[in-house]
């Protein structure tokens, strides 16, 4: 059976057949090639994949952050019943400002260094999503009682993200804050206007591991308390496992596998996913896979069939000819690989261990050397 | 260390550099060839008269002693007598300095209110029509000499169109209606309650100020444009847009403040260079300012006036740079915080 689209129940955001190309001097680079994804209300969904697989481009096309040209975007992006790509810039800004919010990758560079945390966050609380506010209107509201209310809201939000000493932080500049505090400030800023959809790009990965864990725990609480739908983008499968309900694995501009988180980690299907999971370092075991051989495809001249075929240990001539279908393998589970055709007997499908055995390895309990 | 402590330390440093400047200028003015006493008395005076005057002026004492005498005078505001005007140099400076400062301040004002908005507009239309137009204007304004522009302005606006007066600071018909309070005519005319004179003062100052500011406008425009473009690409600006803040607010508050930091440094340097450039403009517009006074003094070996003018310009220069430091600390908290953390 073929899965056209692994749809979330009660979707808030759906992306259908998204294609993004970039014009360059060498021709059109077809980076995103037919991506389908959806996020249900209250669902936390992760797009995972290695650097260059197209996950950030997917996020940027949803948020209209790509400059067109050189980018060319087609497909359908529907947010709560509204088709986003056909909206005018102004209408889109309104939807984005009021209902979507994003947390950028790097907390060091995402706060304005010349304004206090209080100033930036209070402006966001007061005027975020009101992109039509004129100058006169701005000054009238800026110097009214509304400002104090907004400030109160910011303080409350800072307490909610467990910012230490929030009163003091309000008067501090970003350079006076640690990385973890800046990340908290950014999360607070993103949640100030009660968005429905939060898009988080590599959240916390710029921080050290202990803080990273605290931030993810905090995020989980916030998602629950604010009834958020979240699209997370990460190259770190551990993050996907810790926070999300469902995972999309992306490779070479396509979704190659999707499954509920538990299913994906216990029973990974696509050889690429298996390779990713096999390369997670383990404390036990005597050998360690160093990663999947090869590198992501050249987008200017991508492989005609499955884009993973050149790196896949199980690839056949069939794989190189045509793009495989997305086969449904259980609820909300799909995999784009010929090995999962009904006709293929289950015994011929690879396991993680098998995939691991095909990968370059180095002996465990030892450092250095190949 | 608090930022104000850093500034106090800077002030102490400024004092030291001013003393250094005074030593250099004083010594240079004394060892230059030419006898000031002879220059003062003219070719017809006898050798005895020259000797007597030299003794009276203290010129036959050793230079270090002359310097100490000079510095003692300086502390009570006595800069010696000008050989040219026969008045106290301090009186002359108080008389001429406001005219120059007024001219420079108005040009700085024009530089800021024209240069920065044009830079912002150029940045927002990067590689568009407005950007290329301002690029062309900047190119001409920086490469055409100020005095040439000054003469062209006189020709066009004064002679051909007859819109504006071309010389002086105020029409002669207002001479008696304005009393001198500060020496700044734009202020004095208001204090005298003479609105017509105030308008006339603006009419006189606008051409020289514009001619003087053009090169600076070009520079400020280009610097503002490139730093605006830099800042616009920063994550925090993208984030602020992403949160749906009004785009004018993001541009003029959150982008411009950061982009203003390099512009501010340029403005400080510009102010100082205007003090020098003002001379040609003052000459073209018969503007009775300090620059023309200073040049006359140099040409006539009027050493007290030379030292006085140089010291005044030196003080203005370091004050402006000090002011820029204070403002930079206000605009960019990272500078202030780095200072406070450094010690």
pLDDT in tens, chain A (370 residues): 445 555 667 788 888 888 888 888 888 888 888 888 888 888 889 998 888 788 888 888 888 877 777 888 888 888 888 888 888 888 888 888 788 888 877 788 888 999 999 899 998 888 887 777 888 888 888 888 888 888 888 998 899 888 888 888 888 898 888 888 888 898 888 888 888 888 888 876 777 778 888 888 888 888 888 888 899 888 888 888 888 888 888 888 888 888 888 888 888 888 888 888 877 776 665 566 666 777 777 778 888 888 888 888 887 888 888 888 787 777 788 888 878 777 777 777 777 777 777 776 665 544 444 4
Cross-chain Cβ contact B333/A193 below 8 Å: no
d(CA A75, CA A73): 7
DSSP symbol at B81:
B
pTM of the model: 0.77
Question: Crossing angle of helices A117-127/A145-160, nearest 10°?
Answer: 110
Question: Which of helix, strand or coil describes residue A233?
Answer: strand
Cross-chain Cβ contact B337/A63 below 8 Å: no
**Domain spanning B97-342: CATH 1.10.3720.10:** yes
A28-39 b/e (C-beta count within 10 Å ≥ 16 → b): ebbbbbbbbbbb
- What ranges do the domains of chain A cover? 1-80+197-370, 110-195
Ranges of residues in chain B whose predicted pLDDT is under 70 = 1, 342-343
Q: Is there a contact between A199 and A100 (Cβ–Cβ < 8 Å)?
A: yes
Cross-chain Cβ contact B242/A127 below 8 Å: no
Structure tokens that stand for A93 in this block: 């800004």
- The residue of chain B with its CA nearest to that of A139 is B249
Please enumerate in sequence order all residues whose Cβ is within 8 A of that of B239, keeping only pairs 6 or more positions apart, or say none.
A102, A104, A110, A111, A186, A189
- Residues in chain B closer than 8 A to A105 (CB atoms): 235
Nearest C-alpha of chain A: how many angstroms from B221? 22
Nearest C-alpha of chain A: how many angstroms from B109? 23
Task: Identify which of A108, A97, A63 has the alpha carbon closest to the alpha carbon of residue A204.
Answer: A108
CA B114 to chain centre: 18
Nearest C-alpha of chain A: how many angstroms from B234? 7
Percent of chain B predicted with pLDDT > 70: 98
DSSP symbol at B301:
T
Rg (CA), chain B: 24
Instruction: Tell me, yes or no, if A69 comes closer than 8 A to chain B by beta carbon.
Output: no
- The residue of chain B with its CA nearest to that of A199 is B242
B195-219 b/e (C-beta count within 10 Å ≥ 16 → b): eebbebbeebbbbbbbbbbbbbbbb
- What ranges do the domains of chain B cover? 34-78, 97-342
Query: For residues A71, A75, A78 and A79, what is the CA-based torsion angle, rounded to 10 degrees?
Result: -20
> For the domain A1-80+197-370, what is the CATH superfamily, name and number?
P-loop containing nucleotide triphosphate hydrolases (3.40.50.300)
ipTM for the predicted complex comes to 0.77
Cross-chain Cβ contact B258/A189 below 8 Å: no
Nearest C-alpha of chain B: how many angstroms from A93? 6
* Dihedral sign, Cα of residue B46, residue B47, residue B53, residue B56: negative
Task: Identify which of B308, B300, B297, B296 has the alpha carbon closest to the alpha carbon of residue B35.
Answer: B300
Write down the pLDDT at residue A287. Answer: 61
The pLDDT tens digits of the residues spanning B135-148 come to: 998 888 888 888 88
């Amino acid at each position: 059976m073929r899965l056209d689209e692994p749809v979330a129940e009660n979707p808030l955001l759906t992306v259908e057949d998204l294609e993004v190309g970039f014009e360059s001097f060498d021709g059109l680079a077809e980076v995103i090639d037919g991506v389908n994804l959806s996020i249900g209300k209250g669902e936390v969904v992760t797009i995972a994949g290695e650097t260059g697989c197209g996950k950030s481009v997917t996020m940027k096309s949803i948020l209209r952050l790509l400059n067109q040209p050189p980018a060319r975007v087609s497909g359908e992006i529907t947010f709560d019943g509204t088709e986003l790509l056909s909206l005018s810039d102004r209408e889109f800004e309104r939807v984005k400002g009021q209902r979507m919010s994003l947390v950028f990758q790097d907390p060091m560079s995402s706060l304005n260094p010349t304004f206090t945390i209080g100033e930036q966050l209070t402006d966001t609380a007061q005027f975020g999503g009101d992109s039509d506010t004129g100058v006169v209107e701005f000054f009238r509201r800026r110097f009214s009682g509304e400002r104090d209310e907004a400030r109160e809201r910011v303080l409350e939000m800072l307490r909610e993200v467990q910012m230490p000493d929030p009163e003091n932080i309000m008067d501090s500049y970003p350079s006076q804050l640690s990385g973890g505090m800046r990340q908290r400030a950014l999360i607070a800023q993103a949640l100030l206007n009660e968005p429905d959809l939060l898009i988080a790009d590599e959240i916390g990965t710029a921080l050290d591991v202990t803080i990273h864990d605290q931030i993810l725990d905090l995020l989980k609480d916030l998602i629950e308390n604010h009834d958020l739908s979240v699209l997370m983008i990460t190259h770190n499968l551990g993050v996907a496992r810790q926070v999300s309900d469902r995972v999309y694995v992306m490779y070479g501009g396509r979704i190659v596998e999707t499954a509920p988180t538990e299913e994906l980690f216990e029973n990974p299907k696509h050889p690429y996913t298996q390779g990713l999971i096999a390369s997670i370092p383990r404390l036990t075991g005597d050998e360690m896979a160093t990663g999947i051989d090869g590198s992501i495809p050249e987008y200017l001249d991508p492989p005609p069939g499955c884009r993973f075929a050149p790196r896949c240990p199980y690839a056949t001539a069939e794989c190189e000819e045509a793009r495989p279908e997305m086969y449904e393998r259980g609820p909300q589970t799909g995999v784009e690989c010929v090995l999962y055709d009904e006709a293929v007997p289950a015994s011929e499908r690879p396991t993680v261990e098998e995939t691991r055995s095909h990968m370059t390895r180095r002996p465990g309990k030892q450092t250095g050397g190949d | 260390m608090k930022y104000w402590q850093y500034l106090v330390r800077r002030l102490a440093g400024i004092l030291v550099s001013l003393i250094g400047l005074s030593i250099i200028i004083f010594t240079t003015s004394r060892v230059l060839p030419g006898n000031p006493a002879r220059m003062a008395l003219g070719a017809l005076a006898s050798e005895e008269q020259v000797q007597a005057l030299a003794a009276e002026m203290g010129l036959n004492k050793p230079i270090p002693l002359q310097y100490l005498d000079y510095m003692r005078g300086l502390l009570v505001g006595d800069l010696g007598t000008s050989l040219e005007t026969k008045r106290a140099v301090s009186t002359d400076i108080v008389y001429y300095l406001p005219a120059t400062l007024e001219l420079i301040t108005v040009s700085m004002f024009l530089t800021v209110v024209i240069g920065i908005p044009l830079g912002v507009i150029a940045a927002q239309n990067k590689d568009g029509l407005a950007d290329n137009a301002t690029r062309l204007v900047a190119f001409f304004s920086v490469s055409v000499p100020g005095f040439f522009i000054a003469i062209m302005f006189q020709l066009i606006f004064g002679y051909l169109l007859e819109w504006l007066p071309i010389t002086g600071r105020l029409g002669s018909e207002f001479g008696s209606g304005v009393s001198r309070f500060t020496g700044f005519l734009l202020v004095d005319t208001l204090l005298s309650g003479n609105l017509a004179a105030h308008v006339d003062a603006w009419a006189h100052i606008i051409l020289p100020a514009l001619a003087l500011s053009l090169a600076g406008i070009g520079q400020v425009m280009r610097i503002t444009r490139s730093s605006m473009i830099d800042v616009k690409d920063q994550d925090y600006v993208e984030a602020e847009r992403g949160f749906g803040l009004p785009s004018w607010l993001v541009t003029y508050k959150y982008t411009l403040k950061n982009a203003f930091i390099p512009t501010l440094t340029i403005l400080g340097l510009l102010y100082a260079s205007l003090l020098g450039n003002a001379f040609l403009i003052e000459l073209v517009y018969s503007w009775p300012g300090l620059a023309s006074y200073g040049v006359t003094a140099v040409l006539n070996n009027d050493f007290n006036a030379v030292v006085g003018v140089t010291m005044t310009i030196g003080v203005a220069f370091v004050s402006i740079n000090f002011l820029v430091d204070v403002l930079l600390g206000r605009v960019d908290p990272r500078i202030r915080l780095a200072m406070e953390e450094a010690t």
